Every structure is written in C-alpha cells, then in structure tokens.
Amino acid sequence: MEKIQHNHVQAKGLKLHVAQIGTGPKVVVFLHGFPEIWYSWRHQMVAVANAGYRAISIDFRGYGLSEHPSEPEKATFNDFVDDVVAVLDSLGITKAHLVAKDFGAFVAAMVGILHPDRVSTIILLGVPFLLPGLSPLQSQLHLIPPGFYMLRWMVPGGAEADFGRFDTKTVIRKVYIMFSGSLPPVATDNQEIMDLVDSSAPFPPWLSEEDFAEYGSLYEKSGFRTALQVPYRTMMLPCGLDDGKIRAPGLVIMGEQDYIMKFPGLEDYIRSGKVKEFVPNLDVTFLAQGTHFVQEQLPEEVNHLIISFLNKHCE
C-alpha cells in the first residue's frame, strides 16, 4: 500500500484524485461503486502491478478526494464517462483495460460503447453489463418492492434525512454491512433504510477497523451529494445507447451470495446468456461464497481471475 502514489488530474475543470502503482504500457483502470472509493481496489492494484501492469484507481467527481461538480444535483453518468476519458488523456494513455464494480459497471459499459478505441477489455464485479435505465431489465422493474433501498434513495431529500440522523462513518458502516448480506435491503412502510442495520452490528471479518476508518474519512470529506445523484437519482434515466454493442472482450465476476443476484430478472439475464447479446465476447464466473464486495472479501481469488483474463487478452 505504501507504494501507491497519489495525485490529481484535471478533468473538465475539476481536479480528480488518481491513485497509481506500477509502470509500463499495459494499463488497468479501476472504477469504484458505492459506498466504495479508490481504496476498495487496494488489493487488486498491488496484484496487477506485481503482474506487470500499471494500475490506476480514480475517485469519481464528488467522491473521496476528487472535487465536486459545481452543481452535484445535475451530475449524470455521462459526466463520469467523461471523467474516465479525461483521466486517460491527462495521463497520456491511449487504451486501457477497465475493471469496474457496482455502478462503475454502468460507466465502463458506456465507455465501451462510446469510446471503443480506448478500451482493451472490460471486467465487471457485482453488477453485470447494464446501462442506465436498467436496460434490458425494464420489464421486471414493477416487481421491485417500494421499500427497496434504491427506490428510497431516488427520492430527493429522503436519503439526506435518513443519513442525517448519524455521523458519516456510521452511515458508511451501516451501508457496508447491509450490502454485504445476501438479501436485498428492503424497509417496511414505517421504517428507514438506515434502521435495517443496528449501529453496533459487527462488520464483515474481511474488513478491519483501519479499512472502515479510511472509508469513513473519505466520505466525511466528500459527503453524499454527488453519490446520491449518481448513481441513484440518474440510474433509471435512459442513456440512449440501448442498441449499442460492446466489442471488447468482457468478464463478469459475481458472488453467489450477492444480494444483487435477487434483483428482479438479473440472475436470469446472466445465466440465460442474454447478457451476451450486449457483449458477445463474454466470460462469466460465479464465486460460491462471494458477496457484493467480492474483491475485498476474496481478494486472492478475484486477483487470479482478473490477472488471468488480462494476460489472455493483453495486446
């Protein structure tokens, strides 16, 4: 970890935080989800650097050590796509492998469609190849219960009031514990999402107090203004790319115990092979004990899968 270098690059007038380790022309760019940050890729960054790659992990705008946009409530997934391209341009990188987690999967998929010449391969964890608007799962969306956390956080002011009852570190702790489970977080009519987890509940054994302190301090700096906008308040907005195809080789790594697997229609979308209509050159791997944070929970297994795939497709 001490060998990871930190700096900022300019992207559309904002300073974006970039963590890097390793050198050379083979570049891997890691894209985080929520409630994650650049730090969530710490195990993978070191592993791919040791395997001969240059590893780069960014904080999206409004997250961690990156600057907020002037109007966070107007941020879109397209802005995050622009961030990825701007980081590549600023660092003089022509083409890279993308590894993305959670909502970062939407960003990686959009980059793959809009900027195919910049992408060598795409590896996704926790969320398969989808686009904003949740294409092609729209026909299943009516099955989502109204108390599902995602629907609650889409409503302006709702999550702010819920989160505001606790300090930032407690919010991150609760979300991390909640998302580590195998059941989707669903509240009753008279219940708040944050109350699904007791403040004294133990966090997963694969995370330390130091890890949570790192996450908490980074979110204390950034807050949640941008994080609630992207992904939650823009996730259902179509991006106009539904007819696009991703030509780059792809890999999806999913934990069998990931609560996302119970999202309506998602498991069938993966297992039936329908996802390959979007990404024809695709491999899919399931990890039996994996949860939503599989890259932190099972780093050695995930690192092996990532490096094997990269080596197979390295130009």
Residue ranges of the domains in the chain?
5-313
User: Across 161-305, where does the E strand assignment appear?
Assistant: 250-255, 282-287
Fold of 5-313: Rossmann fold (3.40.50)
Provide Rg for the chain, Cα atoms: 18
- In angstroms, the CA 83 to CA 16 distance is 8
**Of the residues 149, 232, 259, 269, which is catalytic?**
232
- Residue 203: per-residue pLDDT: 84
Strand 119-125 versus strand 282-287 pairing type:
unpaired
- Residue 139: per-residue pLDDT: 87
**Of the residues 82, 83, 102, 258, which is catalytic?**
102
Residue 43 annotated to the active site: no
- In angstroms, the CA 115 to CA 264 distance is 30
- In angstroms, the CA 201 to CA 199 distance is 6
Residue 102 annotated to the active site: yes
Residue 39 annotated to the active site: no
DSSP 186: B
- Residue 97: per-residue pLDDT: 98
b/e for 264-301, b at 16 or more Cβ within 10 A?
bbbbebbeeeebeebbeebebeebeebbbbbbbbbbeb
Residues of the chain with pLDDT under 50: none
* Range 77-81 contact pairs with CB under 8 angstroms and sequence separation of 24 or more: 77/106, 77/107, 77/110, 77/132, 77/230, 77/231, 77/234, 77/239, 78/110, 78/239, 79/12, 79/230, 80/107, 80/230, 81/107, 81/110, 81/111, 81/114, 81/115
- Residue 196: per-residue pLDDT: 96
pLDDT in tens, 48-78: 999 999 999 999 999 999 999 999 999 999 9
- In angstroms, the CA 10 to CA 186 distance is 39
CB atoms under 10 Å from CB of 311, counted, come to 12
Residue 223's nearest CA partner among 58, 68, 100 is: 68
Q: Is residue 138 a contact partner of residue 259, using CB atoms and an 8 Å limit? A: no
